[in-house]
Amino acid sequence: MRDFYGVTLPSALMLGTARYPSPAVLEAAFRSSGAAVATVSLRREQGQGGAFWDMIRELGVRVLPNTAGCHSAREAITTAQMARDLFDTPWIKLEVIGHADTLQPDPFGLLEAAEALAADGFEVFPYTTEDQVLAQRLLDAGCKVLMPWGAPIGSGLGLNNRYGLRMLRAAFPDVPMVIDAGLGLPSQAAEAMEMGFDAVLLNTAVAEAGDPAAMARAFALAVEAGAAARAADPMEPREMASPSTPLIGKGWL
């Protein structure tokens, strides 16, 4: 597993903390998932008060604050600075939303905010698309991690642009990458890991499941299986059938 700004995580699963029916369900899901990172919105923490933050700390996971809901670079930068003071971490998941319906990142605002935050000492995890040009600009701005979306946030559609994601992964083989947003099923997380991504980040698929703890465990197993499959060097697809039992040595009547 790759390092994220010098930190090697024990799990490739990152889990959000929003939309759960209760704090107890959230805690049970996290403990079942074995997730190494909890993403936390500054707005949510402020709404829940100190009890919520105490619970997150008791989970013993690394906190990744985010700038969820920000629609401009200035708003994202201010939110990130407040989050750093509150959570005492240079990590920030940078979201600058550009489209209200798809929640697609605004590439111009994202790059502007990434440059400013990296220069200010933040370790930026940018929520981006599979665009290779934008990816290179973000790396040039100081980002050392990329977080391309699988599909629109909360959609559960999985990996919408498999070709684009494969090309992005191949173009930057040494950059840690996390599939962020849009995953709805454990099989989709396994596929992302099989494609060579280093981790997945999800929230809604677990929080809105009938049994969040069970779904969290399913995602944990899927991520582990996908990573193991990638490491095992899977066979390439073939256009024609290839018999698993050779004809050599076969008896003839």
Give the Cα separation of 207 and 214 in Å (integer).
11
103 phi and psi angles, rounded to 5 deg: 55, 30
Q: How are the residues of the chain apportioned to helix, strand and coil, as percentages rounded to the nearest 5? A: 40, 15, 40
For 64, the 3-state DSSP assignment is strand
Angle at 15 between CA 231 and CA 120, to 5 degrees: 95
3-class SS at 253?
A: coil
Q: Are 141 and 119 in contact (CB under 8 A)?
A: no
Q: Are 52 and 45 in contact (CB under 8 A)?
A: yes
Q: Is 225 annotated as a binding residue?
A: no
Active site residue 93: yes
User: Any binding-site annotation on 16?
Assistant: no
Choose among 134, 136, 129: nearest CA to 159: 129
Provide CB contacts within 8 A for 222, sequence distance 6+: 186, 187, 189, 190, 193
Tell me whether residue 161 is annotated as binding: no
Please tell me which residue in 14, 15, 20, 93 is annotated as part of the active site: 93
| 80 annotated as a binding-site residue | no
Instruction: Select from 114, 214, 185 the least CA-distant residue to 105.
Output: 114
Tokens 């559609």 belong to 157
Residue 156, annotated as binding a ligand: no
For the CA atoms of 129, 152, 102, 73, what is the dihedral angle to 10 degrees?
A: -50
Active-site residue numbers? 93
Q: Which residues are annotated as a binding site?
A: 154, 181-182, 203-204
Q: Which residues are annotated as a binding site for 1-deoxy-D-xylulose 5-phosphate?
A: 154, 181-182, 203-204
